[in-house]
A and B are shown apart, each in its own frame.
With several copies, the nearest count.
Chain A
Amino acid sequence: MEPKDYIAARVAQEILPGTLVNLGIGLPSLVAGYIPADAGVFFQAENGVIGMGARPPEGMEDPDLTDAGGGFITAVPGAAAMDSAMSFGLIRGGHVDVTVLGGLQVDGQGRLANWMVPGKMVPGMGGAMDLVGGAKRVIVAMTHTARGAPKIVGTCTLPLTSERPVDLIVTEMGVFAPGPGGLGIVELAPGITLEALRAVTGAPLAA
């Protein structure tokens, strides 16, 4: 299994039945594929729909039904469409149960940086700042390192997305709960030792 599939499958275990979930583009969007259809989980696309379904069969795409990345989607039974004020009202008002987002860096206390690399890549924050600040539970889904360098760091060198700490970090090496005392280890992925983890983790591990 590829790291990103492992990560997505593991994040899926954190999603409770009957919840409202917002998945970021890229790796986080893979999580939907690991949620049983009968779990009663509703996915929000922040461009204006709750009840986003899978990509439609070829020839059945509708130009007016897309996800936040602009890709074609379907609507499940019980879906609701809305304008951006309602969509972000749900996000910022604490009505979204879980958001899963990618990360460029997270520090040991859980502060996330995921929206720009100054001088190199400035895509803009889109809805990320609202999601991190507003969702009830924030999960970061990312590979543990980028070109060998730790993405979990002592202090973020990239601009922060929010001062609110995220709740959980899932990588191919394990599941981590950041906190004031440093990075807590919830579980290590099969075959990962504490030494191996420490070697590629920039933040202190919690006692």
Chain B
Amino acid sequence: MKSALKTEAAAAMIPDGATLMIGGFMAVGTPHRLIDAIVAAGPRDLTIIANDSAMPGKGIGKLVSAGLVARMVVSHIGLNPETQAEMNTGRIAVDLVPQGTLVERIRAGGVGLGGILTPTGLGTLVAEGKRIIEVAGKPYLLEEPLRADFALIAARRSDYVGNLEYFLTAQNFNPLMAMAADTVIAEPEAIVPVGVIPPDAVRTPGAIVTHILERPA
């Protein structure tokens, strides 16, 4: 059982230079209250692992605008001209990763795999500097696992065990990232009593959730 954590206390846990996985897809399924609190706390030189950098003024875009980000590992920055500009000036180092490969690298980090073999990226810029392994006569790129210091997870509901339920397309990377970080902070829209979420509706078991964020104000 976990008691809910104050949003400011959660943000204060994140030091300069931390690596954060942040759930969401174009700011849908992103932990918005945590991001606002991190912008207020202002840790520097963050590495962000996420699907995308959203848009200026929304979700992860707020961390970019606040100048807190040193490096991003993402699949898409097309809707955030600020990220593109910061990449071009070299202020933010951006690793672009095919979305499916990003998913599998995060999953590998969470489930203890040493890497995965994928054809995605063969013969493209993505293959540069990577090992090619042949299996059954076909070449594959060896892609290595990703892990983070913190995973910031948006969920629809949590109970006080930390079991998480997601909703429609707000699920996306959240359950994968919750497996792949040393400290997992879940930001639910609602917290319900233990026993209310049916076992088959739980997508992230509470055993791997370190902290539950307090209810929205």
Q: Write the residues of chain A forming the contact surface with B, with a CB cutoff of 8 angstroms.
A: 18, 20, 40, 42, 44-51, 62-66, 68-70, 75, 77-95, 121-130, 133-134, 159-164
Contacts and interface: CB of A to CB of B under 8 A. Distances in A.
Interface stretch (B10-18, B34-42, B130-138, B205-213): B205-213
**Most chain B CB atoms below 10 A, which of A80, A123, A163:** A80
A40 B2 CA distance: 10
Contacts of A86: 205
A85 B77 contact: no
- Chain B CB within 10 A, most for which of A81, A161, A163: A81
Interface of B: 1, 25-29, 51-52, 55, 74-79, 84, 87, 96, 98-101, 103-104, 107, 110-113, 118-126, 156, 159-161, 163, 166-176, 179-180, 194-195, 199-200, 202-203, 205-208
Contact of A89 (B27, B78, B110, B122): B110
Nearest to B121: A129
Given A122-B77, A133-B119, A68 B159 contact: no
A78 to B, nearest CB: 4
B28 A70 contact: yes
B204 to A, nearest CB: 8
Nearest to B170: A64
B126 A129 contact: yes
Given A124-B75, A124-B77, A64 B169 contact: yes
Contact of A92 (B118, B172, B202): B118
Contacts of A134: 100, 112, 120
Contact of A81 (B77, B100, B122, B169): B169
A125 B75 contact: yes
A81 B79 contact: no
A128 B125 CA distance: 14
Nearest to B111: A89
10 contacts: A50-B207, A63-B28, A66-B169, A78-B206, A82-B205, A85-B111, A92-B100, A93-B111, A133-B120, A134-B100
Q: Could you say which of A51, A161, A164 has the most chain B C-beta atoms within 10 Å of its C-beta?
A: A51
A89 B171 contact: no
Residue among B51, B87, B168 facing the most chain A CB atoms (10 A cut-off): B168
A130 B98 contact: yes
Contacts of B74: 124
A164 B112 CA distance: 15
Contacts of A87: 172
